[in-house]
Structure 1
Amino acid sequence: MKVVTLTLVVFVILSTSFPAAIEAADAGDTGNVGVTCDARQLQPCLPAITGGGQPSGACCAKLTEQQTCLCGFSKNPAFAQYISSPNSRKVLSACGVAYPTC
């Protein structure tokens, strides 16, 4: 439990320290033109990613909204470990979001 709490604290600190707010470069595939990529929007997914549980509806909605941003997040050292984790793949699959191929 301490590891999950520590991971959550680190994620919150990093997400506020490195706000990944960029325009989605390839938004044409999903119709999300003009989506602002912001890793903080994915905080509803953190419990499922760090704990391995089922993602919430809010998590799935944000993953769908931020789908075009996942490649950018995976290239950012502050967020890469979360995107590439086995639980992240499970969460993406449960939400019907394709794992990014960058």
Structure 2
Amino acid sequence: MNSKVASLAILVLVMFLAEVELVSGAVTCNPLQLSPCAAAIISSSNPSATCCNKLKEQKPCLCQYMMNPNLQKFINSPGAKKVAYFCDAPFPTC
């Protein structure tokens, strides 16, 4: 199995198992909303407009995701930081 495909599958599985669904203001915090960004996080491709929109929408939730041990390694990964930079959605200081 291709390592990128395996990484994507693991990312989706971890997000699914995390079952984080909290409400932050008007935003429902659900890491699965960031699934359009998974391919860009694990590869060198640029994120899609959908990914950037979802990342900006979920920005109030990122601190909660960063504190979740199941999601930390993905949220703090170089790929995630690259996507945030490309989408002009810098990570909040938590």
TM-score under structure 1 normalisation?
Answer: 0.85
- Contact 2:18/2:71 (<8 A) preserved: no
2:29 — aligned with what?
Answer: 37
Q: Which consecutive unaligned segments of at least 5 residues does structure 1 have?
A: 25-32
TM-score under structure 2 normalisation?
Answer: 0.91
Q: CA RMSD for the aligned pairs?
A: 1.3
1:42-76 Cα deviation digits (max 9, x unpaired): 00000000113100000000001000101111111
1:99 matches 2:78:
no
**Could you tell me how far apart the structure 2 residues matched to 1:77 and 1:45 are?**
19
**Could you tell me how far apart the structure 2 residues matched to 1:75 and 1:67 are?**
14
TM-superposed deviation, 1:77: 1.3
Q: Which consecutive unaligned segments of at least 5 residues does structure 2 have?
A: none
**Could you tell me how far apart the structure 2 residues matched to 1:77 and 1:7 are?**
17
**Could you tell me how far apart the structure 1 residues matched to 2:33 and 2:15 are?**
10
4+ long deviations beyond 6 Å: none
TM-superposed deviation, 1:95: 0.6
